[in-house]
């Protein structure tokens, strides 16, 4: 477990964690002193002769030279001040530990998000986005809960140990009896709960994964679900999943309360037995001091035992979160560099083969083709034939299993991928616009250049549309809900053009449009890309007619169907 924590947390996190442990030690000492001081105060208040049997308190009384009532009053006021200090330290510890664990939650989520962005396209495709979301949000939250449980366990263990030794000093025999009870209780909890909680922790991860998947699938197919009239099927499926998740949590929550219920019952039994034991074997005069001390100690120790057991349960229950996050953060990152590459003449694929890491079947076999600068190229073929895979290889988003990609007779290396990708403008089939302004959706975290932004809007015939609304700050709505299909497509084209690409790639980019709008946009794209190399994945005759090269991908192989010029 420690090794996995070292993978997830940085050195400063461990330093802060150890400081929190030290603070919990201070809080525990103060807590123990506060409880231990009650017994002599009660004893003095009821019988001042108790002072004679307590050396250090008697020495202090003589040194101060106060009357008995003044000394007891001073003692009481000091205890009140001490309890204010104890409360302040406890509050400080709670605040600092909460801040620490919540910042860890934020930090771990950020690390996971960064890791996702650093994955290669091949590795990213190996995961369901619902699973990635669950780990970054839910499992990271549970990991923070695990850390909080560790802090609680350590803090309460310190309090328990200090009070335990105070009770040994007070009365060894009674404390030994109490120890036997607590050992039996601990063994029972371990046998009854811990194994169950471990399995339920894994089951909880499976249920919450299903929750995220169903939400993603439902929202992604919302229109189809409405049209089919089968909303009740989705509703019943989600109901079943949430019920399963709820049942796991019900069991875990109940098991968390059970130790406390048992402890409270046995706590009263132990206190009664202590009174009876003291009366029979210690004498009546010893009842009040001993019972006061044990009552106060048990009042604080039993909640500590409950918190220790509960924290141990949560640690075991949430351990699966640590395993999942560690697994995600251990994934290999895409190794790319920023070496410059120049494209002046042609792109060649030579004896290129490719298979996805998640599949043993080869996707592409012995692909050989050449694209000259300024060419307008189309890839055609049946669905699943490998068209998009060929283009992703050309884009530098996938690495060939074997063979070469050459740019101007120089092999394209992973160290040149960043430079190469900047030369490409990509227009996907499924365009996603986030709920923001037109400018935000086009610039996409790149350097903001208003002049360039206006230029690409004019080229895509959008500028006049938005000028009549709120200009560059016009809101597009979630996934472009306030735009027409054609406007949404043009925003995607403007987004691709904003990076001044040398190569423009269309991945079935107009397949969702009506024929008239599609023809108009295709015409505009070819007009815009006159000085650019254009690569299109399409079945549209209009697009194919405008291309000077058409490649067919069939059964993982490539053949040239058309050459013009």
- Residue 5: per-residue pLDDT: 80
> Exposed, middle or buried: residue 285 (CB in 10 Å: 0-12, 13-18, 19+)?
exposed
Confidence of residue 227 (pLDDT cuts 50, 70, 90): low
pLDDT over 70 percentage in the chain: 78
Task: Note the pLDDT tens digit of each residue in 388-398.
Answer: 889 889 988 88
Q: Which of 429, 447, 436 is nearest to 499 (CA)?
A: 447
Ranges 278-292, 469-483, 488-502, most confident: 488-502
Q: Which two tokens stand for residue 350?
A: 């030579």
Contact between residue 79 and residue 41 where contact means Cβ atoms under 8 Å apart:
yes
Is the pLDDT assigned to residue 225 strictly greater than 70? no
User: How far is Cα 121 from Cα 305, in angstroms, rounded to an integer?
Assistant: 49
Contacts 24+ apart (CB under 8 A), 191-194: 193/255, 193/258, 193/259, 193/309, 193/313, 194/312, 194/313, 194/316
- Residue 456: per-residue pLDDT: 86
DSSP string, 429-453: SS----SSBHHHHHHTTS---HHHH
Q: For the chain, list the domains and their CATH numbers.
A: 2-329 (1.20.1560.10), 346-563 (3.40.50.300)
Task: Note the pLDDT tens digit of each residue in 21-30.
Answer: 998 888 888 8
H helices within 9-139, ranges in order? 11-36, 38-46, 55-64, 68-118, 121-125, 129-134
Higher pLDDT, 289 or 101: 101
- Residue 347: per-residue pLDDT: 92
Contact between residue 406 and residue 385 where contact means Cβ atoms under 8 Å apart:
no
Task: Note the pLDDT tens digit of each residue in 269-287.
Answer: 666 666 666 666 655 555 5
Confidence of residue 353 (pLDDT cuts 50, 70, 90): very high
Q: Which two tokens stand for residue 186?
A: 């601990």
Contacts 24+ apart (CB under 8 A), 369-373: 369/551, 369/558, 369/560, 370/346, 371/346, 371/347, 371/533, 371/535, 371/549, 372/345, 372/346, 372/533, 373/343, 373/344, 373/345, 373/346, 373/502, 373/533
Q: Which pTM was predicted?
A: 0.74
Higher pLDDT, 442 or 64: 442
Q: Return the DSSP state at 193.
A: I
- Residue 288: per-residue pLDDT: 56
Task: Note the pLDDT tens digit of each residue in 63-108.
Answer: 777 777 777 788 788 888 888 888 888 888 888 888 898 888 888 8
Is the pLDDT assigned to residue 565 strictly greater than 60? no
Is the pLDDT assigned to residue 153 strictly greater than 70? yes
User: How far is Cα 140 from Cα 105, in angstroms, rounded to an integer?
Assistant: 6
Confidence of residue 406 (pLDDT cuts 50, 70, 90): very high
- Residue 489: per-residue pLDDT: 81
Q: What is the 3-state secondary structure (H, E, C) of 272-323?
A: HHHHHHHHHHHCHHHHHHHHHHHHHHHHHHHHHHHHHHHHHHHHHHHHHHHH
Higher pLDDT, 273 or 413: 413
Contact between residue 434 and residue 441 where contact means Cβ atoms under 8 Å apart:
yes
Task: Note the pLDDT tens digit of each residue in 120-141.
Answer: 888 888 888 878 888 888 888 8
User: Mean pLDDT, the chain, as a whole number?
Assistant: 79
> Exposed, middle or buried: residue 112 (CB in 10 Å: 0-12, 13-18, 19+)?
buried
Neighbouring C-beta atoms of residue 117, cutoff 10 Å: 10
Is the pLDDT assigned to residue 156 strictly greater than 60? yes
pLDDT over 90 percentage in the chain: 5
What are the distances in angstroms from CA 52 to CA 3, 56, 58, 556? 56, 10, 6, 97
Cα dihedral 266→268→270→273 (10° resolution): -140
Is the pLDDT assigned to residue 222 strictly greater than 70? no
Task: Note the pLDDT tens digit of each residue in 309-352.
Answer: 778 777 887 888 888 888 888 888 888 888 898 999 999 999 99
- Residue 463: per-residue pLDDT: 82
């Amino acid at each position: 477990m420690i090794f996995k924590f070292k993978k997830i947390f940085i050195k400063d996190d461990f330093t802060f964690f150890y400081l929190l442990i030290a603070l919990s030690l201070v809080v525990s000492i103060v807590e123990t002193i506060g409880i231990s001081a009650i017994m002599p105060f009660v004893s003095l208040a009821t019988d001042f002769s108790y002072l004679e049997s307590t050396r250090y308190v008697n020495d202090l009384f003589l040194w101060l030279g106060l009357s008995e009532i003044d000394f007891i009053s001073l003692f009481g006021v000091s205890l009140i001040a001490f309890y204010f200090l104890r409360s302040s330290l406890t509050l400080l510890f709670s605040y600092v530990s909460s801040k620490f664990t919540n910042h860890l939650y934020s930090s771990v989520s950020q690390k996971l998000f960064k890791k996702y962005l650093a994955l290669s396209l091949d590795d990213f495709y190996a995961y369901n986005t619902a699973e990635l979301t669950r780990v970054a949000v839910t499992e990271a939250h549970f990991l923070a809960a695990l850390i909080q449980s560790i802090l609680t366990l350590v803090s309460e263990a310190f309090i328990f140990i200090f009070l335990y030794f105070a009770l040994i000093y007070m009365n060894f025999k009674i404390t030994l009896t109490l120890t036997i009870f607590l050992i039996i209780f601990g063994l029972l909890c371990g046998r009854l709960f811990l194994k169950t909680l471990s399995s339920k922790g894994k089951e909880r991860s499976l249920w919450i994964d299903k929750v995220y998947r169903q939400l993603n699938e439902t929202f992604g197919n919302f229109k189809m679900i409405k049209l089919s009239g089968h909303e009740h099927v989705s509703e019943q499926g989600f109901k079943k999943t949430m019920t399963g998740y709820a049942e796991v949590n019900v069991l875990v929550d109940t098991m968390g309360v059970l130790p406390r219920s048992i402890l409270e019952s046995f706590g009263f039994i132990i206190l009664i037995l202590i009174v009876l034991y003291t009366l029979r074997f210690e004498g009546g005069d010893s009842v009040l001091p001993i019972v006061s001390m044990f009552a106060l100690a048990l009042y604080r120790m039993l909640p500590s035992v409950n918190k220790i057991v509960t924290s141990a349960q949560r640690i075991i229950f949430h351990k699966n979160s640590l395993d999942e996050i560690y697994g995600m953060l251990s994934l290999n990152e895409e190794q790319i560099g920023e070496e410059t590459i120049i494209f002046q003449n042609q792109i060649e694929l030579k004896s290129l083969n490719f298979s996805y890491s998640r599949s043993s079947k080869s996707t592409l076999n012995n692909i050989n083709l050449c694209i000259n600068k300024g060419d307008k190229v189309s890839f055609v073929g049946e669905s699943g034939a490998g068209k998009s895979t060929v283009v992703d290889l050309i884009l530098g988003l996938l690495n060939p299993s074997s063979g070469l990609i050459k740019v101007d007779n120089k092999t394209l290396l992973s160290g040149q991928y960043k430079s190469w990708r900047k030369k490409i403008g990509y227009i996907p089939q499924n365009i996603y616009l986030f709920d923001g302004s037109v400018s935000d959706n086009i610039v996409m975290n790149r350097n903001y250049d208003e002049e360039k932004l206006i230029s690409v809007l004019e080229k895509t015939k959008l500028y006049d549309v938005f000028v009549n609304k709120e200009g560059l700050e016009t809101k597009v709505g979630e996934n472009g809900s306030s735009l027409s299909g054609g406007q949404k497509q043009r925003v995607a084209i403007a987004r691709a053009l904003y990076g001044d690409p040398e190569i423009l790639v269309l991945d079935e980019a107009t397949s969702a449009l009506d024929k008239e709008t599609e023809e108009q946009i295709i015409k505009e794209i070819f007009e815009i890309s006159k000085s650019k190399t254009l690569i299109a994945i399409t079945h549209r005759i209009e697009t194919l007619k405008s291309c000077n090269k058409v490649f067919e991908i069939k059964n993982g192989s490539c053949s040239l169907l058309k050459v013009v010029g």
